[in-house]
Amino acid sequence: MTAINWFSLLHPVLVILFVYPVMGATIRLGILVRENRLGITQQPAPVPKEHADHGAWATAAVVVAVLIALVYSFIHKAVEPGAAFVGGSARLGLLMLVAAGTLVALLALLRVKQPGLRASFSLLTWAGLLGLGSQPEIWRLSDNPFSGAFWGSHYWSGVLLTGLFLFNLAARPEITKQLSWRRLHVTSNLLIMVLLAVQAITGCRDLLQIS
């Protein structure tokens, strides 16, 4: 295997070994937090914070995994024998800068406290992923939302999944304090669980098609 082949494994390995287990723990902790709030069970004081921390770790890992997949696609096309990478090294360098900026926005989101900054950095992170994902090197089954292929696309379901993760991270203080936000949080997480299953299925399907 070449170095680029090993790099291609980072995305699925990170998702399988980290994102899914951490998400499972996050869901379990969330159930415990809800039971404690409703008086069904008594939980240790650190449980709510652990739930929030696990959610932040899962969100960060998802964004990093997506960035790895996108960067791999660009580098793979740039070094592939006989394939002309449009824009050459200058465009590749620009795409790497956008990827780095997206990562910086994520790190800022993890640190800022003000609502406006949290919303801004979450949108910047998502916009960076969308901008990179819109490039011709990224394989998308369809860009037409009125086609069945669009809804079966690993890329587009991943985009929605990442957006929901970023929303939950950005709205963490509001979710803690307000019932309406908690209900929205629960709804978004139900959709996240569905999308995680979709990602597992479509990811395996795409690997089979590529091979």
Question: Domain extents for the chain?
Answer: 3-210
CA angle at residue 132 from 126 to 136, to 5 degrees? 140
Q: Which two tokens stand for residue 16?
A: 């399988």
**Structure confidence at residue 82 (pLDDT):** 67
Read off the pTM. Answer: 0.93
Task: Decide which of 150 and 83 is more confident.
Answer: 150
Residues 169, 136 contacting (CB under 8 angstroms): no
Q: Please determine, for residue 211, whether its predicted confidence score (pLDDT) is greater than 60.
A: no
Residue with tokens 């660009």: 74
* Torsion of Cα atoms, 129 then 21 then 16 then 14, to 10°: 50
Average pLDDT, the chain: 91
